[in-house]
Amino acid sequence: MWLVLGLAVLAVLAIPLVVSIRRSTELFVIRIDAGRARFIRGRMPQRLLNEISDVVRREKIRTGLIRCVTEGGAPRITATGLGDGAAQQLRNILGTYQVAQIRAGGRPK
């Protein structure tokens, strides 16, 4: 009984650690609601958010989630709710930015 309780407590205490490790490589998160890209967390240049918003509007994306992480020293996008064409356009846009440029950006409006 004590072993099960101890493992349960350990699991609950480990959850924040796992979340913080996962977010340590995260650059920004954008949620798409009702066809509009909304900045959720992280840092990014306003120009990058404007370019992403243009893709969302042009491709008529209604809902989705865009997450940008650092992988191998380069930014990488993972997107849910977007078609292959829109995801490729976002990768093309992101390819023009370096990690340092994204981190140097602030919190866009």
pLDDT at 21: 66
Helix, strand, coil percent content, the chain, rounded in steps of 5:
50, 30, 25
pTM of this prediction? 0.78
**pLDDT digit string (tens) for 8-27?**
888 887 787 776 666 568 99
Residue 2 — pLDDT band, cuts 50, 70, 90? confident
Rounded to the nearest integer, the mean pLDDT of the chain is 89
Q: How many CB atoms lie within 10 A of CB 86?
A: 21
